[in-house]
Amino acid sequence: MVDNLDYPVQLIQLIQPNGARVCRPEFDRLITDIGPDELLSLYRDLVVSRRIDTEAVALQRQGEIGLWAPMLGQEAAQVGSARALAPDDFAFTSYREHAVAYCRGVPPELLTTMWRGISHSGWDPEQFNVTNPAIVVGSQGLHATGYALGAHLDGAEIATIAYFGDGATSQGDIAEAMGFAASFRVGVVFFCQNNQWAISEPVSLQSRTPISHRAIGYGIPAIRVDGNDVLAVLAVTRSALYRAREGSGPTFIEAITCRMGPHTTSDDPSRYRTDTDMSEWKSRDPLERMRLLLGRRDLLGENELSTIAAAADDVAAGLRRATIALADPPPSALFDHVYAEAHPLIDAEREEHRAYLRSLEGASS
C-alpha cells in the first residue's frame, strides 16, 4: 500500500526515512516489477554490501590491506543504480563503488586484491562490465563517455554510467566529459554521489548552488534524488539509462547521500566535522529505511533477518579468508600488463631490474 505523505519537493523520494512509501506515479511506473521478492533482494544487497565494507575496514586496521575507501551510508545509491543496469551496460566507477561491483557480479574475494597491493587491478572489466577502481579523480567520466560513443558507432544499444563524488565535479575531466557528451548526445549517465564531503571540504563550500545545476549549464537534463532511498535511485537511474539507450543523450543524476565514515582509512573525519553534523544523517540510514518499509508490509520477520545476516557473514568470512590467503607477487610482475602489447621502455626497465637482482646475487656469493 502506498501512502500519500509529504516528501522533500527538491528530491525524488519513494521511501521516507520512517519506511512509509511515497506516491509518485511518474516514477512508480518504472518499478512496477519490484514485488515482495525483489524488495527482499534489494535489502539483502544493501546488508551484504555494508558487511563487505565493514569487513574490509577491519582488514585494513589489522594490516591485511593497505587502504580502503569506505562506502558506509552510500549503499542505497550504489545498489539502486547498479540494479538498474542491463547486463550489456557498462559501469565506470571511482574508488568507492564496492556495492556496484558486487551487484555486477564481481566475486567479493576480488574486491581487495588491488588494495592489498598485489595486483594492478582486481578483475577483468569485460567479464562483469564494470571497471576496476579509478584512483585518478574524475577520469572515469571521460572513459564512460568515450566507451558509450564507441558502442553507439558500433551499433550497440547500450548505456554507460559514470560514478563520481561531489568533489569530482570540480575536476576538468568531468567538465570535458559533460561538454562532449552534450555536444554529441552520447548515451552516458553521469551519476554523482553527493556525499557532502570532498575529503575535508563540505559541499556547501565547493558549490553555492545544487551540483545538478552544473549539468544544466551544459544542456544536460539533471535530476536530484534521495540517495538513501534505494527504490527512488532505482527508478531514476532506469529512466536515465532508457534515455541513453534510445539515443536521447546524457543525463545527470545527483544522489543526495552522506559519507558516514572517513574518506579513506587514512583519513580522520573528526578533524573537519562533528557528531552533530552526522546526527541527522544517521536517522536517514538507507538500510534502516528499507527494513522499516519491509516491516510495514510484513515481509521481514526473524527468519528473513537471520537468513540475510547469515548470508552477509558468509560473504564477509569468504572475503577475509581470500584476502589473507593472497600471495605476494614476484617483484618482476610490476612490469606485466602495463601496456596491452610489448613496449620497448617497459622491456628495458624489466631488464634493468633483472640486472639489479643479478648484482645482488653476485654480491652475496
d(CA 350, CA 334): 9
**Is 297 a known active-site residue?**
no
Whether residue 118 contacts residue 159, with contact meaning beta carbons closer than 8 Å, is answered with no
Which residues are CB-contacts of 47 (< 8 A; sequence separation ≥ 6)? 287, 308, 309, 311, 312
Residue located via cell numbers 539509462? 241
Which residues are CB-contacts of 91 (< 8 A; sequence separation ≥ 6)? 82, 85, 97, 100, 104, 129, 130, 131, 160, 161, 163
238's grid cell: 532506469
**Is 263 a known active-site residue?**
yes
Whether residue 181 contacts residue 216, with contact meaning beta carbons closer than 8 Å, is answered with no
CA 199 to chain centroid, in Å, comes to 16
What phi and psi values does residue 327 have, to the nearest 5 degrees?
Answer: -90, 145
Q: Exactly one of 50, 51, 238, 259 is catalytic; which is it? A: 259
Q: Exactly one of 185, 272, 350, 353 is catalytic; which is it? A: 272
Nearest to 194 by CA among 152, 236, 163: 163
Which residues are CB-contacts of 118 (< 8 A; sequence separation ≥ 6)? 326, 327, 328, 329
CA angle 40, 44, 45 (to 5 degrees): 120
Residue located via cell numbers 575535508? 200
**Is 259 a known active-site residue?**
yes
d(CA 89, CA 148): 9
d(CA 202, CA 83): 29
220's grid cell: 544536460
Q: Exactly one of 263, 284, 289, 320 is catalytic; which is it? A: 263
Ranges of beta strands (E only) in 6-111 are 90-92
Whether residue 290 contacts residue 45, with contact meaning beta carbons closer than 8 Å, is answered with no
| Catalytic (active-site) positions | 259, 263, 272
